[in-house]
Each structure stands twice: as C-alpha cells, then as structure tokens.
Chain A
Amino acid sequence: MNSAFHRFVDNIVQQTDAPLDEKEDLYEELLVHLELSYAALLREGYSEQEAECKAMASFGDEKQIGSQIQQAMFPYRKQMLLALVIASLLFSFAVYISQLVVEGDALITWLLLSVSVSVCLLVFSLQPISFLNRRAWINSLLLIHLFIYLLGAGFASSVDAAIAAPLTFLAWGILLLTIALVYRTTIFDYRTRKQKLKKQVMIIHALNITWGIFITSATLFFLWAFLAFSTGEFNPRILLFLLPLLIWIIAYIVQIILLSKEKKKSAYMVALLPFIVVLALVFWWFGGII
C-alpha cells in the first residue's frame, strides 16, 4: 500500500464531519480511485514516483475536495453552525455588557458558559473531530446551548433599556436556529446504517423531538411554578413533574430499538404512549379542578 496515498486520502476525509462508518467507506472509495489511476499511469509508462504524483495531482487539492465532499454530504451545515456561533457570541457579549451597564450585574458564570459552548460549536464546525463526531455529542452540545441561551433570552428581556427588544429578538432567532440544527442533526445528518426502516426512523425522530420540546417546556414551566409556590424545603412530589419527561425518554429509546428490529407497528404504538400519559394527566388535572 502507498503511504502517500493514505496521507492524501486521510487529509480529504478529515475535511468532512461524516460519522466514522461513512468516513471509512469514503476512505476506501477514494483510495481505490487513486490506486486505479496509479495503475493506469504505470501502464502508460510512467515511473512509480511519477505515477504517484500524477495520480494525486489529477485528483486535485485535498482541502478543496474535502470541502466539496462535506458540502455535498451536509449542504450548508457548516454555514448554519457558523451563523449560530457568530450570532451566539455577539449575543453573549451584548447581553453581558447591557446587564453590566444598565443593571450593574456582571453575569460572569453565564458569560463563561455561553462562550464555552459557542467556542465548542465553532471548533466542531471548522474542524471535525472524529471521535467526538457523533450525533449524541453534537446534539448534547446543541441542547446545552439551547438551555444556556434560553437563560440568555431571560437576561436580555430583563435589561431595562431599549436594547432589550432587539436582544430578545436575537435570542429567539438563536434558539430557533439551535432547534433547527437539532432536527437536522438527528433526522438528516447522521443516519445510522443499522436501521433498515430509514423513512420510519426519520418520522419517529421528528415526532419525538417535537414532542420532547413540548414536554420539556411544560416540565420547566410546572417546575418553576411549583418552586415559586414552595417554602424552600425539598418536596419529593417535585419528582412527579419529571415523570412525563422520563416516560418520553424511555418511550423514545424503545421506539428506536423496535424499529431496528423492524417492528414498525409496535414502534408507533409506543410513540403514542407519552401522548396518552400527558392527555390522561391533563384530564385528571382539569377533572380534579372541575
């Protein structure tokens, strides 16, 4: 095997942020192309060294090829991430300065958290890191980003000055872009090859993410309301509010396992479970009130 070809192909593959299995396939494919070209050049009468150089030269610049493959595999993903990072960093600095100047509050912890998560996303978008390049990692980062900037939206709206309105508007733009990236990452960008029912997997993911946003928002609201009315002591009943969230997580995992076993109907039945539980809770709650 030609070590120069390996380095060349490796440089191309590193430009993409495809999952490891797709990278391995891409690696093999590019290497085969190079070796075929190399063999053809040898047959044409070139020396080994000349054939090697010519094969790589005819392929083109590694970085450019890598970038083109990345764009073909994940159209505008890098641009979306970069837009999110730039908007997030500008928002963090603007909210911090506004709070300091107008309210006299230095939100140091929030600034450090928000800049850290934005910088992580910046590194992810500009330099794919193979062993971190997993749907779980990127989604975790995006979810952390979502919660930190949800807090930021609160800080932005609480600035007692005219800048509060544009900052709050920017905050909601950042939150929507983050949610869009969660959908994209989960449904389109990182599709596992183990699943055969690809379309069903996409539907189940879309359904569960939407439902997850709704359940998480409702859980946070009820937790906030409960804590606002509490006396400050820990009340075990607070854990009841986490029940719908727990049911949603378990049901989500079960649905994916069922789909991997190609049990489509069972997966959809389980997908209905969180809906039924929440509906039952709503009827029980309002029934209790009425």
Chain B
Amino acid sequence: MNKIKIRKPIVLLLIPILAITVLLILLGFVFQKSEDEKQQGLTPIFDVSANGTIAYVAYDKGKAGIYLKHAEETFDNPVLQLDTEQSILDIVFKPDGSSLAFVSANKDVQSDMESSVHLLSLVTLTSEKLFTDLALLTELAFDPQNEDMLFYLRAGTFENYSPIASAHPHEFDLFSYRISNQSRQQFTELSKYSMRSLKISPDGKMAYVQMPDDAHVETAEDTFEMKQKVFQIPLDAPDDLSVVSNNDWEKDIYDFVIMPDRHSMIFQSVSQTGSEGIYEYELFYYDWNNGEEKQLTYLKQHTSHPMISPQNGKVYFMVDKQFGKRKADYQLYQMDADGENLESIPFNLEKH
C-alpha cells in the first residue's frame, strides 16, 4: 500500500509542466540582466553650453553615455559611452563650449570608491583623463573667468550613517583642480554631511553650495530643526562662508542656480504634499537684496536641477514624472526666468 506509482495521465500532465519550467529557466539564463546592465534612459545630469548645445547623460542597457542636442537636432549616438560597471556623476561644459569635463565612478561605490575626472573634446571627440581620486567626486564647475580651473565637490565616504538610511556620500568639501599644472587645492575643511549644487560666480570669486545649516546644532532636537540652505563661500577666504538663501524660508532648499545679477537665485523646494502623500517639488525665485519671492513652476511633480543657459538666459530644469515610484522618468524643460513660456525639450530617447 505504501508503494507510490504515479498514474500515466498525471505523468502526461507533469511532462509539459516540467518542459515549460526548464525552458523558462534556460530563457532566464539567457536574458537576465545584472544590476549594472539594468539602468536605462535619461538621468537628471545635463549642462547647456554657451552656444546652446545641451549635453545630457543617459543609460543604454546599463552603459552611461553622454549625448548632445543642438537646436532641433538630436544626435542619436553618444559622443562617449562607458562600460556597464561605470557611471557618470556629473558633466560640465568648458565656458567656451569646446570641451566637456565629466566625472566617472564605479557603480559599486561601496566596494570600490574611486572617481576620475576626464576632459572630452567636442571637436575631436577624444577623452583625456585629468585625475583620479579615491573618493566620490559628485559635482564639477569651471571658473567662468579661468578655463584652467575646475572646481569639484569631494565626498570622503559613502555609507549609511543610520540603520534606517540608505548609503549616501558624506564628508563633503570643496576642492579645485588646475588643469595646466595638475595641482589640487582644498578650499573648505567642513566634512559636511551633504553638499550639492556647486556654482561659481561669473567673476570667479565666489562659490555657492547647498548644505545643511548646522552651525547652531548642539542636541538631537536641534538636528530635526536644521534646514538645508544655500551658502556662499568666498574663494579667497573660504572660512567666511555665509547663508544667502532666505533664512525665513521654513522648508529645506535643495538645488539652486544663482542668477547672472548675483543677488537673486532660483531654487528648488517643497511646495506641498500631493494627493498620494508624495512631496511636490517646485522652483522658486528669491532676490536677497529686496526679499522678493515668487513660485515659478506649478508642475506638481519633482522639479530639480535648475540652470541658466549662457546663450539665451532661459532656465533649464529636470522634472521626474515618476518621483516616489521605483523608476524615475526624467523630462527636460525650459522657461523664461520669470516662469513664463514653459516648454518641454524632447530627446527621442527611444532611439537609445
């Protein structure tokens, strides 16, 4: 009675089930992608040159590439593409638009934290490695008055400071690299928890960054009250940094761009909480001479990375249409500095 003999009709049922399972496993081995190969589509990293060319970073089957768009013309092929193990953290045009500096780093930052800064000639489309650092170099900015001087933000660590937080770069400071003599200089010794949105003033005398205003933090309660603000750092006296964003602004300020008049800025902040409980980030204008404030965008999405075109003074920015979801869906927009004439800029991303 204990002898099991599977009946023939059951065996006939099991054969196709087994065959489908084996086929699916074989297909799995053929078509599965590693984490490095999964990245696809536009990132929020872009820059606009003096002649109006837009350079942007997009991933194609996990390969980070730099693509160009000029006027209505989009070049389908990347001017540079890295292998699947590498990512591009930032790109910036040289003030004359002839070349483009970019930072590459390993995607697996935690096991191999190394960044390299390269200079890509847009004439010859050849890339030259400027230097490598055993740290995470998150942002680049040229000195508008001196194309030989490249500023960058350097994060000394990439880790999670608390069990509930995911790993992020920390211990930030401002550095520069002089291309002609390959010398590096450290400007700040802040080891900041976070620092972003590096901008250099048109006269090359001032750096602007966004970071937490922790000057008066002493207790854990103070940490919760701490706000993200925009600071200016005099490059000849970096210790004399000061807040230039509105101290009365009750929310955090994230990305920003300093207007050419140097006494006003466009910044990113939360406007309200959306119907699904997700924050809506918009762009705002603030003039710190006369205290004038104005909300510029009402897209009710995640608006970020504002920058001003040196060519036409238009404000370019990215919008993540899937913010709060698992995969981002970025779209580049442009508008006038007063928020008028908003339009999206298509990239024909399905081609790559």
Instruction: Name A69-115 residues within 8 Å CB distance of B.
Output: 89, 93, 96-97, 100-101, 103-108, 111-112, 115
Knowing A104-B31, A131-B2, the reply to whether A126 touches B7 (Cβ < 8 A) is yes
How long is the Cα–Cα vector from A126 to B7 in the complex, in angstroms? 9
Pick out which of these stretches binds chain B: A189-197, A199-207, A224-232, A268-276.
Answer: A224-232
Chain A residues near B37 (CB-CB < 8 A): 104
Chain A residues near B28 (CB-CB < 8 A): 96, 100, 106-108, 111
Q: Is the CB of B163 within 8 A of A231?
A: yes
Instruction: Determine the residue in chain A with the shortest Cβ distance to B37.
Output: A104
A130 within 8 A of B: yes
Q: Is the CB of B6 within 8 A of A123?
A: yes
Nearest chain B CB to A76 CB, angstrom units: 20
B13 within 8 A of A: yes
Q: Is the CB of A115 within 8 A of B17?
A: yes
B-side interface residues, number (CB < 8 Å): 26
Of A105, A115, A127, the residue contacting B6 (CB under 8 A) is: A127
B184 within 8 A of A: no
Q: Is the CB of A100 within 8 A of B31?
A: yes
How long is the Cα–Cα vector from A160 to B38 in the complex, in angstroms? 13
Of A101, A111, A158, A229, the residue contacting B163 (CB under 8 A) is: A229
Q: Is the CB of B24 within 8 A of A96?
A: yes
How long is the Cα–Cα vector from A131 to B1 in the complex, in angstroms? 8
Per-residue contact bits, chain B 39-68, to A (CB 8 Å; 1 contact, 0 not): 000000000000000000000000000000
A254 within 8 A of B: no
B277 within 8 A of A: no
Nearest chain A CB to B145 CB, angstrom units: 46
Chain A residues near B32 (CB-CB < 8 A): 100, 104-106
Report which A residues bind B (CB closer than 8 A). 89, 93, 96-97, 100-101, 103-108, 111-112, 115, 119, 122-123, 126-127, 129-131, 158, 160, 228-231
Of A89, A103, A111, the residue contacting B25 (CB under 8 A) is: A111
Knowing A96-B24, A111-B21, A231-B163, the reply to whether A104 touches B10 (Cβ < 8 A) is no
Knowing A100-B28, A104-B31, A130-B2, the reply to whether A122 touches B10 (Cβ < 8 A) is yes
Contacts beyond the supplied A105-B33, A119-B17, A160-B327: 12 A-B pairs with Cβ under 8 Å: A100-B31, A100-B32, A103-B38, A104-B31, A106-B29, A111-B21, A111-B28, A115-B21, A122-B14, A122-B17, A127-B6, A229-B163
Report which B residues bind A (CB closer than 8 A). 1-2, 4, 6-7, 9-10, 13-14, 17, 20-21, 24-25, 27-29, 31-33, 37-38, 163-164, 326-327
Chain A residues near B38 (CB-CB < 8 A): 103-104
How long is the Cα–Cα vector from A278 to B283 in the complex, in angstroms? 50
How long is the Cα–Cα vector from A111 to B31 in the complex, in angstroms? 16
Instruction: Determine the residue in chain A with the shortest Cβ distance to B25.
Output: A108
Knowing A112-B21, A115-B21, A130-B2, the reply to whether A100 touches B9 (Cβ < 8 A) is no
Q: Is the CB of A119 within 8 A of B7?
A: no
Nearest chain B CB to A235 CB, angstrom units: 11
Of A112, A160, A229, the residue contacting B164 (CB under 8 A) is: A229
How long is the Cα–Cα vector from A127 to B13 in the complex, in angstroms? 12
Chain B residues near A158 (CB-CB < 8 A): 326
Nearest chain B CB to A138 CB, angstrom units: 16
Of A103, A111, A126, A229, the residue contacting B10 (CB under 8 A) is: A126
How long is the Cα–Cα vector from A123 to B13 in the complex, in angstroms? 10
Chain B residues near A111 (CB-CB < 8 A): 21, 24-25, 28
Q: Is the CB of B164 within 8 A of A228?
A: yes
Q: Is the CB of B10 within 8 A of A127?
A: yes
Chain B residues near A115 (CB-CB < 8 A): 17, 21
Chain B residues near A107 (CB-CB < 8 A): 28
Most buried by A among B4, B14, B28, B31: B28
Nearest chain A CB to B31 CB, angstrom units: 6
Of B4, B27, B29, the residue contacting A129 (CB under 8 A) is: B4
Instruction: Determine the residue in chain A with the shortest Cβ distance to B326.
Output: A160
How long is the Cα–Cα vector from A256 to B10 in the complex, in angstroms? 37
Instruction: Determine the residue in chain B with the shortest Cβ distance to A115.
Output: B21
Chain A residues near B27 (CB-CB < 8 A): 100, 106
Chain A residues near B9 (CB-CB < 8 A): 126
How long is the Cα–Cα vector from A178 to B48 in the complex, in angstroms? 58
Instruction: Determine the residue in chain B with the shortest Cβ distance to A106.
Output: B28
How long is the Cα–Cα vector from A228 to B28 in the complex, in angstroms? 29
| CB-based closest 3 A-B pairs | A106-B28, A104-B33, A106-B32
Q: Is the CB of B31 within 8 A of A106?
A: yes
Instruction: Determine the residue in chain B with the shortest Cβ distance to A23.
Output: B1
A–B pairs, 22, beta carbons within 8 Å: A93-B20, A96-B28, A100-B31, A104-B31, A104-B33, A105-B32, A106-B25, A111-B21, A112-B21, A112-B25, A119-B14, A119-B17, A122-B14, A126-B9, A130-B1, A130-B2, A131-B1, A131-B2, A160-B326, A228-B163, A229-B164, A231-B163
Nearest chain A CB to B274 CB, angstrom units: 20
Instruction: Determine the residue in chain B with the shortest Cβ distance to A103.
Output: B38
How long is the Cα–Cα vector from A112 to B7 in the complex, in angstroms? 23
Chain B residues near A160 (CB-CB < 8 A): 326-327
